[in-house]
Structure 1
Amino acid sequence: MMRVWAPAVLLVVCGSLLATRLISAGSPGAGAALLVAFLLLAAATSPLVFPRSIGALEAQRRSAVDGRPIVFWRPGCTYCLRLRIRLGHRARRLHWVDVWRDPAGSAAVREVNGGNETVPTVFVDGRPHTNPDPAWVRARL
């Protein structure tokens, strides 16, 4: 569980340390601004900005029924975040699988990416697409 939150926690800790240093050096405004920036980055890289993840097997079952794409992602991945932000509210229409939480999802991604856990990997109609353009994914919805 901690592995999922590690990037966000690291950003909060580093931002706090840097802000404390700036504040103690006599720059409270700059310290506060830096802390806010780090907190925003931490929120953006946390699992909170993504729709609720499900297991790979459940996602495949649901996708077979409703035809919606499956997105394999992991927290802290900037490409996953880019996809999520660019999809906007439409992201909730997809089935999201966190490869750090689901071993079957991790295995599915490694299988189609030559042993690498490259995310985001989007399955549309059973075909994998590694790091697709968000506009292309949006068109598949």
Structure 2
Amino acid sequence: MMRRLMLPVLFVLCGVVVAIRRAADGSPVAAAVLLAVFLLLAALFSPLAFPRSVGAAEARRRSEADGRPIVYWRPGCRYCLRLRLRLGRHAYRVHWVDIWRDPAGAAEVRAVAGGNETVPTVVVADEARVNPDPAWVLDRLRS
């Protein structure tokens, strides 16, 4: 669990340290702005920025039933965050599998990515892509 929160906690701690330093130098406005930026980064890189993850088996079952893509991801991955942000409101229509919480999901990613745990890996109807263009995922959601 701590591994999932390491990056967001680091952002918060750095933000507090930077804000205290700026406030001590007599710049309370700059301190508040910097703290807000670090808190925003912490929120974006936390697991809370993503829809609720399911297990790999459950995602496969749901995908077979509704035809929606499965996205294998992990917290702190900037490419996963890019995909999540580019999907926008459509992100909740995708089945998300956190490979740090689900060993079966990690194994599926390794099978697709040549033994590596490269994320995001997207699977749609037995077609898998590693770090796909978000437009490709949106196209699969629309079809």
Bucket of the pairwise TM-score, normalised by the shorter protein = over 0.9
Match of 1:73 in 2: 73
Amino acid at match of 1:127: E
Give the Å deviation of 1:27. 1.4
Give the Å deviation of 1:43. 0.5
CA distance in 2, matches of 1:26, 1:52: 42
CA distance in 2, matches of 1:130, 1:20: 41
Match of 2:106 in 1: 106
For 2:100, what is the secondary structure of its paired residue? Answer: coil
Match of 2:12 in 1: 12
Q: TM-score, normalised by structure 1?
A: 0.97
The percentage of aligned residue pairs carrying the same residue is 65
CA distance in 1, matches of 2:35, 2:43: 12
Match of 1:116 in 2: 116
Give the Å deviation of 1:111. 1.4
User: What number of residue pairs does the alignment pair up?
Assistant: 141
Q: Which runs of 5+ in 1 are unaligned?
A: none
Query: What is the CA deviation profile of residues 16-74 of structure 1, one whole-angstrom value per residue up to 9, with x for unaligned ones?
Result: 11111111121111111110000000001111111100000111111111111100001
Query: What is the CA deviation profile of residues 96-115 of structure 1, one whole-angstrom value per residue up to 9, with x for unaligned ones?
Result: 00011100011111111111
Q: RMSD between aligned alpha carbons?
A: 0.8
Q: Which runs of 5+ in 2 are unaligned?
A: none
Q: TM-score, normalised by structure 2?
A: 0.95
For 2:118, what is the secondary structure of its paired residue? Answer: coil
For 2:129, what is the secondary structure of its paired residue? Answer: strand
Work out whether 1:28 is the aligned partner of 2:23: no
Query: What is the CA deviation profile of residues 72-110 of structure 1, one whole-angstrom value per residue up to 9, with x for unaligned ones?
Result: 001111111111111111111110000111000111111
CA distance in 1, matches of 2:93, 2:75: 19
For 2:40, what is the secondary structure of its paired residue? Answer: helix
